[in-house]
C-alpha cells in the first residue's frame, strides 16, 4: 500500500509539474506579448512626439509669417499715408500753379491790351509826324 501511495503521489507530482510548466509557458507567452505591445506603445509615443515637434515648428513658422505680414501691413500703411500727404501737397501745388498761371494769363492779356494801345498811339504819332 505504501508503494501504491508513493506511485500515486509521484503521478500527482508529475501532473502538477506538468500543469506548472504549462502555466509558466502561458506566462512567458503573455510576457512576450506584453513586451511587443509595450514596444508598439513606445514607437507610437515616438511618432506622436515627432508630430508634436513638427506641429510646434509649423506654429513657430506661422507666428513668424504672421509677424512679417503685420510688419509689412504697417509699412504699407505708413507708405500710403506718405503717398496721400504727397498727393495733397502736389494737389495744393497744382492749385497754386493754376492760380499763378491765371494771374500770368491776366497780366499777359492786360499787357497785350496795353501793347495794342501803345501801337495805336505810336501809329497815330507816326502819322502826325509824317503829316507835319
- SS3 track for 19-62: HHHHHHHHHHHHHHHHHHHHHHHHHHHHHHHHHHHHHHHHHHHH
What pLDDT was estimated at residue 33?
A: 94
pLDDT tens digit string along 41-86? 999 999 999 999 999 999 999 999 999 999 999 999 999 999 999 9
Residues 49 and 43: their CA atoms lie apart, in Å, by: 10
pLDDT at 128: 81
122: confidence class by pLDDT, cuts 50, 70, 90: confident
Q: What gap in Å lies between CA 117 and CA 132, rounded to an integer?
A: 22
User: Could you give the CA distance from residue 95 to residue 103 in angstroms, rounded to a whole number?
Assistant: 12
pLDDT confidence of residue 126: 83
Confidence of residue 9 (pLDDT cuts 50, 70, 90): confident
Q: How many CA atoms lie within 13 A of 108 on its CB side?
A: 6
Which range has the top average pLDDT, 5-9, 71-75, 110-114, 121-125? 71-75
Percent of the chain with pLDDT over 70: 100
Question: All 3 cell numbers of residue 17?
Answer: 509539474
Q: Does the pLDDT of residue 106 top 80, yes or no? A: yes
CA distance 34 to 26: 12
Q: What predicted TM-score, i.e. pTM, was given to this entire model? A: 0.50
| Whether the predicted pLDDT of 38 surpasses 90 | yes
Domain spans, the chain: 1-99
Amino acid at each position: 500500500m505504501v508503494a501504491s501511495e508513493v506511485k500515486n503521489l509521484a503521478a500527482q507530482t508529475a501532473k502538477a509539474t506538468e500543469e506548472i510548466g504549462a502555466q509558466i509557458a502561458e506566462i512567458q507567452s503573455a510576457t512576450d506579448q506584453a513586451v511587443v505591445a509595450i514596444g508598439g506603445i513606445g514607437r507610437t509615443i515616438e511618432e506622436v512626439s515627432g508630430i508634436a515637434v513638427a506641429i510646434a515648428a509649423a506654429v513657430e513658422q506661422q507666428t513668424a509669417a504672421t509677424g512679417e505680414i503685420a510688419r509689412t501691413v504697417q509699412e504699407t500703411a505708413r507708405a500710403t499715408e506718405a503717398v496721400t500727404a504727397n498727393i495733397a501737397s502736389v494737389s495744393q501745388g497744382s492749385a497754386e500753379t493754376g492760380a499763378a498761371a491765371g494771374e500770368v494769363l491776366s497780366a499777359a492779356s492786360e499787357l497785350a491790351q496795353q501793347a495794342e494801345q501803345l501801337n495805336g498811339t505810336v501809329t497815330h504819332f507816326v502819322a502826325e509826324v509824317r503829316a507835319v
